[in-house]
């Protein structure tokens, strides 16, 4: 199972998620205050894009790790297994 090991990458990801969390709290406040729907949707769209970016970073980590038991620089056959794994992840989560 893939785990984010790079501390800098981990820190950046957590910071991005904290910013999204702040955005979502702001959106909640906007709704409570009776903000214009278009402004709320604009902020929701921005939050969704930020979450998508975090999602793709984590998905890339899983794809780079490849399926369990296959080393990144293993035999030639491992490349097709890694591609199949990537396709399965994209089908499942994308």
CA distance 40 to 52: 18
Q: How confident is the model at residue 22, as a pLDDT?
A: 97
> Which element (helix H / strand E) includes 38?
helix 37-65
Instruction: Spell out the domain ranges in the chain.
Output: 7-93
Report residues of the chain scoring pLDDT below 50: 69-70
pLDDT for residue 64: 78
Give pLDDT, residue 71. 54
Q: State pLDDT tens for residues 40-59.
A: 999 999 999 999 999 988 88
Q: Out of 3.40.50.720, 1.10.3720.10, 1.20.58.1000, 2.30.110.10, which CATH number does the structure's domain 7-93 have?
A: 1.20.58.1000
What is the token pair recorded at 83? 């591609």
- Please name which of 66, 18, 20 lies closest in space to residue 45, comparing C-alpha atoms: 20
The two three-digit tokens of residue 76, written as one number = 């030639």
pLDDT value for 42: 97
DSSP state letter for 73: T
């Amino acid at each position: 199972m893939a785990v984010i090991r790079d501390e800098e990458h981990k820190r950046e990801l957590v910071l991005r998620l904290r910013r999204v969390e702040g955005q979502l709290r702001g959106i909640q406040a906007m709704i409570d205050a009776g903000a214009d729907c278009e402004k709320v949707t604009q902020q929701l769209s921005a939050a969704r894009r930020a979450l998508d970016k975090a999602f793709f970073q984590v998905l890339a980590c899983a794809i780079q790790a490849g399926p369990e038991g296959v080393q990144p620089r293993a035999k030639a056959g491992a490349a097709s297994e890694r591609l199949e794994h990537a396709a399965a992840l994209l089908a499942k989560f994308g």
